Chains A and B, each alone.
Chain A
Amino acid sequence: MVASRAIGILRRFSNASRTLRCPGYICRNFTRSSALLSRTHINYGLKGDVAVVRINSPNSKVNTLNKELQAEFIEVMNEIWANDQVRSAVLISAKPGCFVAGADINMIASCKTPEEVRELSQEGQRMFEKLEKSTKPIVAAISGSCLGGGLEVSIPSAFDMMLTGRNIRADRAKRMGLVDQLVEPLGPGIKPPEERTVEYLEEVAVTFAKGLADKKISLKRNKGLMETFYLPGLTSFAMSIPFVREQVYKRVEEQVRKQTKGLYPAPLRIIDVVKTGLEQGKEAGYLAESQKFGELAMTKESKALIGLYHGQVVCKKNKFGTPQKEVKHLSVLGAGLMGAGIAQVSVDKGIKTTLKDATLGGLSRGQQQVFKGLNDKVKKKALTSFERDFIFSNLTGQLDYQGFEKSDMVIEAVFEDLNLKHKVLKEVEAVIPEHCIFASNTSALPINEIAAVSKRPEKVIGMHYFSPVDKMQLLEIITTEKTSKDTSASAVAVGLRQGKVIIVVKDGPGFYTTRCLAPMMSEVLRILQEGVGPKKLDSLTTSFGFPVGAATLVDEVGVDVAKHVSEDLGKAFGERFGGGSPELLKQMVSKGFLGRKSGKGFYVYQEGVKSKNLNSDMDSVLAGLQMPPKAEVSSDEDIQYRLVTRFVNEAALCLQEGILATPAEGDIGAVFGLGFPPCLGGPFRFVDLFGAQKVVDRLRKYEAAYGKQFTPCQLLIDHANSPNKKFYQ
């Protein structure tokens, strides 16, 4: 979540196309991106007295701004300004669905010094300053993704948008006053809809530009929502008082610090820049902006997030190619939280899905979960009630195996019990067709053990989803020695359709994600037993960058699941996975403290109550299992690093043993599936940026206190020994 937000340098206006006017606004947009990239072309033609400037980066699906484009753009604009026949201009992209996608991250990454980045930024600023001062009206006709942002909107909304980098739908952008007119996408006519829509957008924009030049349309913009809401006069008056401004900066900064825990430098710099601009004037603001941008581009956080962006791009591709048969009918066994979640992300992509459970009660609960997930989107106006019903009609609920002969893929999400999985696999294989794939959604049971009873092990694969399925982006796909390439291709294709970021790992106890999490969880238990309270532990982990505190995470995952996994993996990996006492989880399970799902875990959960209170019944449990803390490794920082280094060490072992194919997949899996701090970029990026030697030193220090659990793996030692060795070259 955090990662994607912070990465969101490019903001995406989706769904509809729109025109927007006001040169000033455009300037600010583009400045923020201070864009770069190669191969760009701009051409323009005249429609009466309106110049239509078309942006079209060759050989690319998206338009990106770079030096070449900037030069061409300035040339074109100079011609337009010099041409007496031209009275106004329209900026439009020749690509349907993309206006300007923004900066190429590679270009920023390839800059070696802050000065280089600053120079690029300033070039952009100069270009747009010229635009801002244009005497001829300019209309930007935007269809699809576009850089957003804008200082013109009143201060409160500007802050909000710039900091979170969230996507704004076209209709909302209009209400906020960012754009002036919306053009709805057209349906089929005498040309493909996308083509005609862009053409129509251009026609409307040209009319608009003419109207502006002829002074038939007033330049005064309709009041945006924010302005109306805050009473424009009052706001601007209030903002003219330095004291009030000071208070606004402070409030925003507090808010930002609270949300980012000070781990992400960019938002704070943005506040600085805005402050400079408002207090010391435009020039100083622009200068500050380019300087800070240059500095930020050089930070570790920037490198980490850029790395994640690239990793994500890789994990959105199917390296196994196109499967022989597209999955049209999906069957999901078990209508629990996971099963229903998998069904939900499938039906809304148009996959006919059968949800099967053993009991009517369980099935109804699952169907309700899917409905609620869709209905929440209706409440947020992301779907209409009709679309919801239409999507929901893709779901069939049943208690038997009727119709399974039509299934192209079965994903089982039954309880984590090998015998049960075997039973289900045999039952299913008796009814499914030859080509049907059997996927197991297990978090720890080795797939080859599940496949042991299969008649066709080449069709068996692991698909490990993360809870809640509709929110968590990761899908971990597990292949065994016997899994065929086409089976893998099909599983990845389904995952991609479900909108997942996918890592493919080799089979083994706990695969990759669960295996990395287990030793860290074991450490969590030990820390709790050493007398650190769940609240303190949560704050230590979140301030390190984890989106969810460690104790809360146990509650969310489910104490029984955690117990199950720790027992299974404890058996498989022995001493290395030791640490806290398994007794703690056992006692919690026996008392019914299963975490959020049972209402009690480390915390008490009540329907409708937001603030979390500690479960006071846990005091006696923890007191009974108390262990003496070791003073030399119990500082706040040590506690944080004990958790993180165990995680990182196990991740490195997975790479060393070939469970992971690439460090990139390891980083994506850790960040998107387990909430590894995005600002660190994942365990492997962390080792690169933090230094392998330092990681090994930390491990050695804790090894001295606790023994084998902290023994650094060979791969980390190799990296520490040769400083040139990096996971990412």
Chain B
Amino acid sequence: MTSILTYTFKTLPSTSQWAFRFSIRPLSCSSQLQAAPAAQPKSKKTLAKPNLRNIVVVDGVRIPFLLSGTSYKDLMPHDLARAALSGLLQRTSVPKEVVDYIIFGTVIQEVKTSNVAREAALGAGFSDKTPAHTVTMACISSNQAMTTGVGLIASGQSDVVVAGGVELMSDIPIRHSRKMRKMMLDLNKAKTLGQRLSLISKFRLNFLAPELPAVAEFSTNETMGHSADRLAAAFAVSRLEQDEYALRSHSLAKKAQDEGLLSDVVPFKVPGRDTVTKDNGIRPSSLEQMGKLKPAFVKPYGTVTAANSSFLTDGASAMLIMAEEKALAMGYKPKAYLRDFVYVSQDPKDQLLLGPTYATPKVLEKAGLTMNDIDAFEFHEAFSGQILANFKAMDSDWFAQNYMGRKAKVGAPPLEKFNNWGGSLSLGHPFGATGCRLVMAAAHRLRKEGGQFGLVAACAAGGQGHAMIVEAYPK
């Protein structure tokens, strides 16, 4: 384990060197592009890097994302993760013994299965010889699972990694209060009846008040919805714009669902219930209906409502990542390459949800691409207001210069390329599982629409963010 880590670290500098060298080349290439866009319609240059292994997504699946409190409500998180893993096994028919490593992301941990990756893998029938670990990074937890896998493969430690994520919001760990816990622990240690009685005599009724998992940012004590509302106000995003965007997300998701585009969804036979085959949070409404809702966080004049926010969701996702040569040797036809990625972080109070704004120009620069090179954008939609605020921030020279230390704006993504098959607002957002969904959506869209590069970006609690370039695998 240690050796893997040290090795990874040792190889890191060389990776970044390559990135640096590489970044110079395509810059000149893109300027050529600008000079003669008609003659050379699209760069077909791949982002492969010399001396670095190409890493591919063989395939990825997810169980249907459901509103929490619906069909999955009696299950445990590892049950959902297990279902996703089983679905992946079925879809890819990968022999269990070739899987070198399994990584899952999750946010709100079930205390009984704190390493949910291991419990799910065992239950899904993976080899008990395959190690598994769980990562957490708020809403980009499964992104972290994927990039951890990418690191393992790139550094030569593994060839085949399963990455995924899971979240079950139907059941969350509600704890006894600290005082009660302390008393219970002390009672365990008390030896005589006298000691026990004296401990019990200190019991007060308020000890029974339960403790819920934090809904607010730990550092600022502000709930995410509240922060989103302030963010929307800071960027002067109106209520109507937000409702319109949410409506767009639901309509596109509905269309994609109806047309059978959401092919990463695998059916899940829920024990004791019917088989679930579809996401159940997609509900296109009307602007009029949405306009009637009262603000959910900043009352009474805020703009963020239940209708233009992502909802509490249960779900799990999993994907099979391999070194390209391994995949080809095994006879797979991969779906996409996983290319450059970045993590960013900023002020958790006033810029909590601006991760995509910071991550996008950084990852593009790293990959030597421009916004024009991107054919499919897949951004995590935490709130309509957050997405629109990010658009405005990305489109503002003032913001780029004053807050990001950049010379100029990167530009907002064109809406016609943006989240065309719905997003977290409509499909749902199981915190730990969304990252894999974004990557698979990008990969599938590139195949369907014939593009080459996809950009995945997401914000996360703690003021963090992530972006990754997904490159379509040549057909």
Contact = CB atoms under 8 A, between A and B. Distances in A.
Interface of A: 181, 184, 186-191, 193, 196, 200, 204, 207-208, 384, 386
A174 B389 CA distance: 29
A351 B235 CA distance: 33
B396 interface: yes
Interface in B365-411: 389, 392-393, 396, 398-399, 402-403
Contact of A187 (B218, B347, B392, B398): B347
A189 B236 contact: yes
A187 B352 CA distance: 10
Contact of B220 (A191, A204, A386): A386
A190 B396 contact: yes
B349 to A, nearest CB: 7
A187 B396 contact: no
B236 A196 contact: yes
B230 A188 contact: no
B389 A189 contact: yes
Contacts of B398: 190-191
B220 A187 contact: no
A386 B234 contact: no
Nearest to A186: B234
A187 B350 contact: yes
Contact of B399 (A184, A190, A200): A190
Interface residues of B, number: 26
Given A181-B300, A386-B220, 19 more contacts: A184-B226, A184-B298, A186-B350, A187-B347, A187-B349, A187-B351, A188-B351, A188-B403, A189-B389, A189-B392, A189-B393, A190-B399, A191-B398, A193-B350, A196-B233, A200-B236, A208-B301, A384-B220, A386-B218
Contact of A207 (B298, B301, B389): B301
Contact of B234 (A187, A207, A208): A187
Nearest to A386: B219
Nearest to B389: A189
B153 interface: no
A200 B220 contact: no
B221 A384 contact: yes
A384 B402 CA distance: 28
11 contacts: A181-B301, A184-B298, A186-B230, A187-B350, A188-B351, A188-B399, A189-B233, A189-B234, A189-B236, A190-B236, A204-B301
A193 B218 CA distance: 23
Nearest to B217: A386
Contact of A184 (B230, B300, B351, B403): B230
A386 B221 CA distance: 9
A187 B235 CA distance: 9
Interface in B168-222: 218-221
Contacts of B392: 189-190
Nearest to A208: B301
Between B220, B233, B235, the greatest number of chain A beta carbons within 10 A of the residue's beta carbon is seen for B233
B301 A196 contact: no
B170 to A, nearest CB: 30
A208 B230 CA distance: 18
B402 A188 contact: yes
A204 to B, nearest CB: 5
A190 B393 CA distance: 7
A191 B402 CA distance: 10
Contacts of B396: 190
B231 interface: yes
A193 B234 contact: yes
A623 B396 CA distance: 81
* Top 9 closest pairs, chain A to chain B, by CB: A187-B350, A189-B234, A186-B234, A386-B219, A189-B235, A190-B396, A204-B301, A200-B233, A187-B234
Nearest to A181: B301
Nearest to A217: B300
A184 B232 CA distance: 13
A190 B235 CA distance: 6
B233 A186 contact: yes
A186 B300 CA distance: 17
Nearest to B300: A181
Contacts of A208: 301
Contacts of B300: 181
Interface in B331-357: 347, 349-351
A666 to B, nearest CB: 44
B408 to A, nearest CB: 15
A196 B393 CA distance: 14
A246 to B, nearest CB: 41
A191 B300 CA distance: 24
Contacts of A189: 231, 233-236, 389, 392-393, 399
Contacts of B393: 189-190
A204 B398 CA distance: 25
Nearest to B234: A189
A196 B234 contact: yes
Contacts of A181: 300-301
A184 B223 CA distance: 13
A534 B23 CA distance: 80
Nearest to B399: A190
Contacts of B347: 187
